[in-house]
Amino acid sequence: MKDLIKIFTYCFGMTLLSFSLMGCEREEGCLDARATNFTPSADKNCCCEFPLLNLRLYHMAGTEEFVETTNYVDQAGTLFQLTNAPIYISQLHLVRTNGTEVGSSDSLALYLPDETTYVERNYNLTDFNQRLYGTGKLFTEGSFTKIRFYIGLDSLAHLNDPTKIESTSHPLSIQSDSMYINAAEGYRNSKMEVTYFQGTDTLQTTFSTSGFTNRILVELDYPVEVTKTFSVEVGIDIDYLKLFENVDLVNQDSLSLVNTLQSNLLDAFSVH
């Protein structure tokens, strides 16, 4: 009988201990109300995921997908291939009817000659092989009517010293295709590497634009209703055939070609 009492007492005690331990377990979850996975019932904060402002860029040649190994034709009938065309797209913002703008809530370090400063993380360098570009966290809601962004970089970004950047994910780090020129000139805003064919000859040339004053403001109608804690993906086409409208690779001089390409950049972008 005593043994039965001991067994019962032991089992009852273990049961109480189990309930006690279960009561000590804390539920993990995100306690930030701005997060997409907000869990108000959680006891321990962790693992927050936030809504993002993303850019999805579609590389186009008219109504077809652009292919860098395809021969296209300029105004004078010269066959050419656009082999590389990195372009800086910066300050992508959603715009309300009253003109106020909302962009990324993330910050980015810029290494200026005399100081390190922090600005909105909102610079992307386009690549033929990439469509989705992350801008940063988006904390907003409501109705927006337009998107606004720049082709090129602002004055502070041009002052950045990329040799001080350790992270290769930094959008202004040293690139393999040399968008950074030097401390005096800053970065190229855009660069076009072209192979064209004249008779039996295959020729190559590169056009680029640089400098803060040469950046281009693009504003497109883009009505969107943003719900709190939901990400927004902005879809934009870049039409490389429009970029080469009125271009004569053989007969135009280099300065004229650069000016034509620069003026065509604005019309090359449209809503997908």
Q: Name the pairing type of β-strands 64-65 and 52-61.
A: antiparallel
Residue 24's pLDDT is what? 57
Quickly list H helices, 46-204.
155-159
Q: Chain centroid to CA 50: how far? A: 16
Q: In a 3-state reduction of DSSP, which class is residue 169?
A: coil
Residue tagged 């076009």 (tokens) = 192
Is residue 72 within 8 Å of 158, Cβ to Cβ? no
Residue 175's pLDDT is what? 77
- DSSP annotation of 254 reads H
Is residue 79 within 8 Å of 63, Cβ to Cβ? no
Measuring CA to CA, which residue among 164, 93, 133 is closest to residue 238? 133
Residue 1's pLDDT is what? 54
Quickly list H helices, 100-246.
155-159, 240-243
Going residue by residue through the chain (272 aa), what tens digit of pLDDT does each one get? 555 445 445 554 555 445 444 555 678 899 889 999 988 888 888 889 999 999 999 999 999 999 999 999 999 999 999 999 999 999 999 999 999 999 999 999 999 999 999 999 999 999 999 999 999 999 999 999 999 999 999 999 999 999 999 888 898 998 777 799 999 999 999 999 999 999 899 999 999 999 888 999 999 999 999 999 999 999 999 999 999 999 999 999 999 999 999 999 999 999 99
Residue 9's pLDDT is what? 52
Question: Domain segments of the chain: what residues?
Answer: 2-45, 52-271
Q: How far apart are CA 159 and CA 233, in angstroms?
A: 30
Burial 179-207 (b: 16+ CB within 10 A, else e): bbeeeeebbbbbbbbbbbeeeeeeeeeeb
Residue 236's pLDDT is what? 98
Residue 15's pLDDT is what? 54
Residue 215: other Cβ atoms inside 10 A: 22
